[in-house]
Structure 1
Amino acid sequence: MIPAFVTIIAASLLLALFSKRGHAHQGAKEFFTASGQFGAVLFFFLSVGETYSVTSMLGFPGGVYAKGGDFITWFFGYILLAAPVLYCVGPVIWRAGVLYGAATIPDFFRSHFDSRALELVMAGSAILLLVPVGTTQFMGLKIVLASLGLPVAPVVLLALAGGMAFLYVIIAGLRASAFVAILKDVLMLSAILLVSGVAIAHWHIDGGQAGGGQVGGAAALAASAQAGSDHKGLVFALSTMVLQAAGFAMIPQTWAFLFSARDPGAIRRAQVVSPLYLLLFPLLMCVAYFARFHGLQPPQPDFVFITTAQALLPEWVVGVVLATITLSGLVLLSSVCLAISPLVTRNIVSGLTEAGQRRWAKVVTALYILLSIIGTEVSGKFIVTLNNIFYFGIAQSLPAFFAALFLPRVRASAVILGMAAGYATAFWIYLAAVDVGGLNAGLVGLVLNTAVMLTAAALHPRRQAATLLTRLRAAPSLPSHD
C-alpha cells in the first residue's frame, strides 16, 4: 500500500516540475494566474479541482451515510446551479480582469470604484473567510493519512502533506496546480468507478450473507429520507443551494481561475462539460449505502469511502485510492494558497515589485499552511464553525459586483456599508441561532446588504461614473463573443 501511495505522490511532483517547462521566469501575474494562458482543457481541470476536492470524496458519501435526503438535495443543487452561473458571469469577470489588469477580486473593485478602502475591505474579508478552508482540507487529509497505518505522529504526516502543497506553489504557481489537477481527476474518476463498481458487484452476495441486508437497508433508507424531509430542513437546503451557487462566483480562487483562461470561450466550454461530473455522485451514494446496508462500521461517517475500499480492494489498490484522495486535497490547498497570497502581497501590502510579490507570496503560503495544520490539531470545532460561515460570508460581495455591472451611481462607501450590514446580520443569525424560518443566514444578510447599499447610494450618489458593462463595450480590443 505504501509504495503505491508514494509512487502517485511522486508522480504528481514530477508533473508539477514538468509544468514549469518553458516558464522558468515567471512574473507575478504568471505566478498567480498563469497570465491568462490556459485553454479549455487546462482551465477545465483546474476549475474542477476546486469543486471536487477531498470533501467530495470523503464528505459527500459521509454525509449521505449519516444524514440522507436534504444533504443530497443541497449538494447536487448548488453544484449544478454553479455551472450556469459561471457560464454567464465568468466571461464578464474575465473581460473585467483584462480591462483593469486585475489578478484578484480586490484589484477589480479598487479599479472600478477607485477606492483603496474598498480594496482593503474586500481583501481583509476574503482572507478571514479563507482561513478555515485550508484547515478543512487538512482535516480530510488527516483521515486519509491515518489510514496508511504508519507509526508516525499525525502532525508529522500533515506537515509532509503541507510540504507537498508548498512545493506545488513554489515550483510553478497556478500552472503546477493545473497540471497536478489533471492527474488528480484521472485518478479520482478511476477510484470512484472502481470502488463503486466493486461495491455494486458485491451487493447481493454480501447482503445475503448478512441475513437480509437489502430489506433492512431499504427500511433504513426510507427512515433517513423521512427524517430529513422536515419543512425547515428543506427550506434551509434550498436557500443554501441558491446562496452557494451564486456565491461560488465570488470565491477568490474562482477569480484566479477565470483570469487564467485564454479567452471567454474556454470558460464557457468548461462550464458546459463540468456538470457531467455529477454522475460520479450517485456512485458515491452507492458506496455509502453499501457500507450502511452491509454492516461496515467506519470510525466516523467521513471514513465510509475508505472503509469500503479497504473491505473490497487489494492493499496496493487501496494505496492508490488514498493517494488520489490526498491529491484532491493538495490541489485545492495549493489553489487556496495562490488565492490568499496575492490578497496579502498585492492588496493589503501595496507597492511591492513583481519579484517582491512572488517572494513574499511564498512566505504567506508557508504561514498559511502552518496555521492550517495548527488549526487542525487544536481547534477543530471552531474551524468547523468558521467553515460553515464561509459561503454566506463570501456571497456578501455579490451586491457590489452587480452594482459595478448595472448601477453607476453607487459609491464605494455604500458598498462597504452594505457589506458590513450583511456580515453583521448573517453572523448574528448564525451564532445566536435566530429562527428565520429555516432560511440560510447568509441569504438574509445578503438581502439586508443590498437594501443598505441601495439606500446609501440613493442618499449620496456617485457622480461621473460608468457601469462595468458600459466600459467593456467601449473597449473594442476585448472579445465580446466566443
Structure 2
Amino acid sequence: MRAPLPLQPVALGVFLTLFVLVTVLGFLGARWRRGDLGTLDEWGLGGRRFGTLISWFLLGGDLYTAYTFIAVPALVFGAGAIGFFAVPYTIIIYPILFSVFPRLWRICKRHGYLTAPEFVRGRFDSRGLALAVAITGILATMPYIALQLVGMQVVIAALGLGGSGVWADVPLFVAFLVLAAFTYTSGLRAPAIIAIVKDLLIYVTVIAAAIVIPMHLGGWDKIFAAVPATKLTLPVPGPHTLGSYGAYATLALGSALALFLYPHSITGILAASSGRVLKRNAALLPAYSLILGLLALLGFMAIAAGVGTAPRYAAGFAAYHANFAVPALILAAFPPWFAGVAFAAIAIGALVPASIMSIATANIFTRDIYRSYLRPDATGAHEAGMAKLFSLLVKLGALVFILGLPAATAIQFQLLGGIWIIQTLPAVMLGLTRMRLRAGALLAGWASGMCVGTAMAASTHFKSAIFPLHLPGALTAPGYAALYALIVNLAVSLVLSAVFNVLRANSDEEPDQAARFEF
C-alpha cells in the first residue's frame, strides 16, 4: 500500500487545465488535415503527409518519453555518471537516421508498406521472417508503453492523488481512458498535434530548471561539490576488466542501434511526407540532445537538494525509489503553479509516445498478423477497425502489466525491449542494402540473438542489462547484453547466408524473388 503525499491544490489545478487542453486537442486531431480515418494509411500514418516541422515534433515526442524525463535523471541520481550514456547515445542515432531511413521511407512509399515487417516480407519473400519481426516489435513495445504509465504514476503521486488501496490507481485509469479515447478516434493525428504542446512545455520546464534550480542551490559549483566523487565520474576499471567504461560505451552504441527499430519510431518515420523531411529532421533533432543533457543534470541537482533524505518525500521514495527524484526536486524548487506546468509536461510526455506506440503495434498486428494469417481478404475499413480495437487492447495490456509489477521491476523489464528489438536490425537495416542475405539465415540469427540476449538478462535476474562477458586472457568485458546478442545474431545470419548462397550457386534453381526486389 502506498502512503499518499500531501495534496498540491494549485499545482493540481494547473495540471488539470493543461491536461484537459491536450485532451481536447487530441479529439480535434480527427479534423486536422482531414482524411478518411476509416483506412489504415490515414489512421495509422496520418496519410504520410507530415512535413518538416510536424515530423520534428512527432519524432521528438516519439523518442523523448516520460521514461526519459523520469528515468535518466533517476539513474544519474542513483548511480551517477553512468546515466550520462544517454547523451552520446542520442547523438549517435541521428547519423543513422540520416543515412539509413530515408531509403526505408522511399521503399515503403513505393510498395505501400505501413510497417517494418511488411518491408521484410516483401524484401525477403518470407512470411516467417516477417512474423518474427512483427512479434518482436509488439513484445518490445509493451513494457515501453507500461513505463509511460509509470511516469504518469509518479507525477500523479507527487500531486497528492496517489491515495491508498484501490483508489491509488483510479487517476491512472482515468488517464488510460483519455489516451484510449483520442487514439481510437483520431489515430496518429492526435499525438502529432499534441506533441507540439508537449515539446513546448518540456523546453520551458527544462530551461527554467537549468536556470532557477542552480540559483536556488547556490550555483553549479555547490551542486557538483555536493555530489559524491564516486558519482561524478565513471570508476576507473581494475586489472583484467573494462569495468564501467565498457558498460558505458556499449549502452550508448547498443541503445542507438536499437532506437529507430522500435515500431513507434518507424511509424513516425513513415508518416513523413518525404525522405528529404527525414534528412532535415536528422539535422534538427539534436536540439533535443541538449535538453536531455540538462535533464540528466537534474539527477545531480536532486542530490544537492537532499530530496532523497527529506521526510516530506519519504512516501514517494518508498513507493517509486529514485524515479521520484525529479518530481520531488520540482516541488522543492518551484512555486506550486509552475510545478503544475512541469508535471503536465511530464504527463503529456507520456501520453504522446504511449499513443504512438499503441498505434504502431496496432498497425503491425493488423497488417502482419491479422491480414496475413487470419483474414487475407480484409477490406481497408475492416483493417482500420481492427487496428483501433487492437490499440485499445495493447494499452489495456500495458496497464495490467504495470499494475501487476512494482515500478522498479517494470523499469528493469524495459531494458529487455532493447535486447529484443535490436535483433530485427539484420532484417530491417541490412535488408535495405543489396547484400545477398537469405531469409532462413536471418531467421536463425534472430532466434539465436533472442535466446542469447534473454539468457544474459535472465542471468542477472533481470536486475541489470549489463552482462559480464568473460573473454580469453582472463579479461572481463561488462557490456550491454543487447549488443552482445546482436553480434551473435549477425554472425549466424552472415555465415548461414554465405553457405546458402554457395549451395544455390551450385544448383540450377532460378533466382528467388528477394533477389529481384525493387529498391
TM-score by length of 1: 0.90
Letter in 2 for 1:20: A
Q: State whether residues 45 and 114 of structure 2, in contact with CA within 8 Å, keep that contact through their aligned partners in structure 1.
A: yes
Letter in 1 for 2:215: A
Question: Deviations 1:371-396 (Å, cap 9, x if unpaired)?
Answer: 21221121236533431121121111
Asked if residue 243 in structure 1 is aligned to residue 243 in structure 2, the reply is: no
Letter in 2 for 1:334: S
Aligned-pair CA distance for 1:225:
2.9
Asked if residue 48 in structure 1 is aligned to residue 60 in structure 2, the reply is: yes
Aligned to 1:360: 386
- What secondary structure is seen at the aligned counterpart in 2 of 1:471? coil
Aligned to 1:439: 479
Letter in 2 for 1:214: K
Aligned to 1:386: 413
Tell me which moved more, 145-154 or 95-104. 145-154
How many Å separate the matches in 1 of 2:236 and 2:513? 47
Could you say if the C-alpha distance between residues 229 and 83 of structure 1 is closer, same or farther in structure 2, counting changes exceeding 3 Å?
farther
Aligned-pair CA distance for 1:32:
0.8
How many Å separate the matches in 2 of 1:30 and 1:262? 13
Q: From 229, 238, 246, give the equivalent of 1:222.
A: 229
Could you say if the C-alpha distance between residues 107 and 227 of structure 1 is closer, same or farther in structure 2, counting changes exceeding 3 Å?
closer
Q: State whether residues 141 and 262 of structure 2, in contact with CA within 8 Å, keep that contact through their aligned partners in structure 1.
A: no
Asked if residue 193 in structure 1 is aligned to residue 219 in structure 2, the reply is: no
How many Å separate the matches in 2 of 1:104 and 1:470? 17
Asked if residue 175 in structure 1 is aligned to residue 189 in structure 2, the reply is: yes
Could you say if the C-alpha distance between residues 19 and 397 of structure 1 is closer, same or farther in structure 2, counting changes exceeding 3 Å?
same
How many Å separate the matches in 1 of 2:486 and 2:385? 37
Aligned residues: 464
Asked if residue 11 in structure 1 is aligned to residue 16 in structure 2, the reply is: no
Matches within 5 A, 1:57-456: 57-72=69-84, 74-150=85-161, 152=163, 153-204=167-218, 214=222, 218=225, 220-226=227-233, 228-230=235-237, 231-297=242-308, 299=317, 300-350=321-371, 351=376, 352-380=378-406, 383-433=410-460, 435-436=468-469, 437-456=477-496
Letter in 2 for 1:67: A
Aligned-pair CA distance for 1:286:
4.2
TM-score by length of 2: 0.84
Aligned-pair CA distance for 1:289:
2.5
Aligned-pair CA distance for 1:228:
4.1
Could you say if the C-alpha distance between residues 227 and 254 of structure 1 is closer, same or farther in structure 2, counting changes exceeding 3 Å?
closer
- What secondary structure is seen at the aligned counterpart in 2 of 1:20? helix
When the two chains are superposed, the root-mean-square deviation of aligned CA atoms in Å is 2.3
How many Å separate the matches in 1 of 2:355 and 2:101? 22
Aligned-pair CA distance for 1:34:
1.2
Aligned-pair CA distance for 1:24:
5.3
Question: Deviations 1:426-472 (Å, cap 9, x if unpaired)?
Answer: 12222124631212222222122112112222222365258799833
Q: State whether residues 68 and 228 of structure 1, in contact with CA within 8 Å, keep that contact through their aligned partners in structure 2.
A: no
Gaps of 5+ in 2: 1-10, 461-466, 470-476, 505-509
Q: State whether residues 20 and 176 of structure 1, in contact with CA within 8 Å, keep that contact through their aligned partners in structure 2.
A: yes
Could you say if the C-alpha distance between residues 119 and 84 of structure 1 is closer, same or farther in structure 2, counting changes exceeding 3 Å?
same
- What secondary structure is seen at the aligned counterpart in 2 of 1:439? strand
How many Å separate the matches in 2 of 1:96 and 1:9? 38
Tell me which moved more, 358-367 or 399-408. 399-408
Runs of 4+ in 1 over 6 A off after TM superposition: 466-470
Aligned-pair CA distance for 1:165:
1.5
- What secondary structure is seen at the aligned counterpart in 2 of 1:357? helix
Aligned to 1:477: none
Aligned-pair CA distance for 1:110:
0.8
How many Å separate the matches in 2 of 1:176 and 1:238? 36
- What secondary structure is seen at the aligned counterpart in 2 of 1:417? helix
- What secondary structure is seen at the aligned counterpart in 2 of 1:202? helix
How many Å separate the matches in 2 of 1:167 and 1:67? 38
Aligned-pair CA distance for 1:402:
4.3
Aligned to 1:476: none
How many Å separate the matches in 1 of 2:479 and 2:299? 28
Tell me which moved more, 230-239 or 335-344. 230-239
Identical pairs, percent: 25
